């Protein structure tokens, strides 16, 4: 008989000493290829209060759109200075911040170019299993044809697109994650 999946359980409130190391919120070295960006935001609950005991993980392709993984068969360059994984906890106000690069477009079946995006996992007390969402980029032409964005109801797509709050600082992108209620972020069943 085949073994059956181990069920998920909440990360609980006391994970930080085990899982959070300073430096993991930066995905880049000084030699990583690509355009530097900072992603910052808050995680909010159904009362619009910041969640201070959440963990966020990012997983993304490099500047050429290639993932650092053997199952990515695209003929694109690996960047030895960029592995694509980051992890951070929220602070007492529910804020998080990552330093990374803007990913390139990955190629899907039929040579369709997917819009650049970052894959996000969210864990917290009260979440019995992780939530998954994606961060897309503003003003990106490929957003119009991205197969995943297009499965989302048009009225909710904006929750997946980061914002540039200050035109003088286009490298700082804002992405709030609303777990519940008005403007609830779109989450994916993967």
Given the rule CB under 5 A, which residues bind Fe ion?
12
Nearest CA to 61 out of 13, 24, 116, 103 is that of 103
User: Taking contact as CB under 8 A, which single stretch among the options 59-67, 93-101, 136-144, 165-173 is the one that binds other proteins?
Assistant: 59-67
From the list other proteins, Fe ion, none, partner contacted by residue 170 (C-beta under 5 to 8 A by kind): none
Q: Write the CB contacts of 160 (distance below 8 Å, at least 6 apart in sequence).
A: 133, 134, 135, 136, 149, 152, 185, 186
Q: Find the shortest distance in angstroms from Cβ 38 to other proteins.
A: 20
Alpha-helical segments (H) within 13-158: 16-19
Residues 102-161 that bind other proteins (CB under 8 A): 106-109, 111, 114, 117, 119, 121, 123-132, 134, 147-148, 151-152, 156
From the list other proteins, Fe ion, none, partner contacted by residue 121 (C-beta under 5 to 8 A by kind): other proteins
Among 29, 36, 77, 85, binds other proteins (CB under 8 A): 85
Q: Is 40 helix (H, G, I), strand (E, B) or coil?
A: strand
The CA angle 35-122-12, to the nearest 5 degrees, is: 140
Report CA Rg, the chain: 17
Q: Does 31 bind other proteins (CB under 8 A)?
A: no
User: Taking contact as CB under 8 A, which single stretch among the options 18-26, 29-37, 135-143, 167-175 is the one that binds other proteins?
Assistant: 18-26
Q: Does 40 bind other proteins (CB under 8 A)?
A: no
Contact 105, 137 (CB under 8 A): no
Handedness of CA 129, 21, 105, 149 (dihedral sign): positive
Q: Find the shortest distance in angstroms from Cβ 131 to other proteins.
A: 7
Q: Find the shortest distance in angstroms from Cβ 169 to other proteins.
A: 27
From the list Fe ion, other proteins, none, partner contacted by residue 61 (C-beta under 5 to 8 A by kind): other proteins
Q: Give the bridge partners for 117, in sequence order.
A: 136
From the list Fe ion, other proteins, none, partner contacted by residue 186 (C-beta under 5 to 8 A by kind): other proteins
Handedness of CA 151, 157, 161, 167 (dihedral sign): positive
């Amino acid at each position: 008989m085949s073994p059956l999946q181990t069920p998920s359980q909440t990360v609980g409130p006391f994970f930080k000493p085990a899982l959070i190391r300073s430096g993991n919120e930066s995905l880049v070295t000084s030699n990583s290829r690509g355009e530097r960006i900072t992603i910052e935001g808050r995680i909010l609950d159904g009362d619009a209060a910041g969640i201070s005991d959440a963990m966020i993980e990012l997983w993304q392709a490099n500047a050429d759109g290639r993932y650092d993984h053997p199952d990515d068969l695209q003929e694109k360059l690996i960047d030895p200075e960029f592995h694509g994984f980051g992890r951070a906890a929220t602070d007492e106000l529910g804020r998080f911040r990552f330093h990374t690069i803007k990913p390139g477009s990955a190629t899907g079946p039929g040579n369709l170019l997917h819009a650049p995006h970052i894959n996000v996992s969210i864990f917290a007390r009260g979440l019995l299993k992780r939530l998954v969402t994606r961060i897309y980029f503003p003003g990106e032409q490929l957003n119009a044809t991205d197969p995943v964005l297009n499965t989302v109801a048009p009225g909710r797509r904006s929750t997946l697109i980061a914002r540039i709050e200050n035109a003088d600082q286009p490298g700082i992108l804002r992405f709030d994650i609303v777990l519940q209620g008005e403007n609830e972020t779109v989450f994916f069943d993967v």
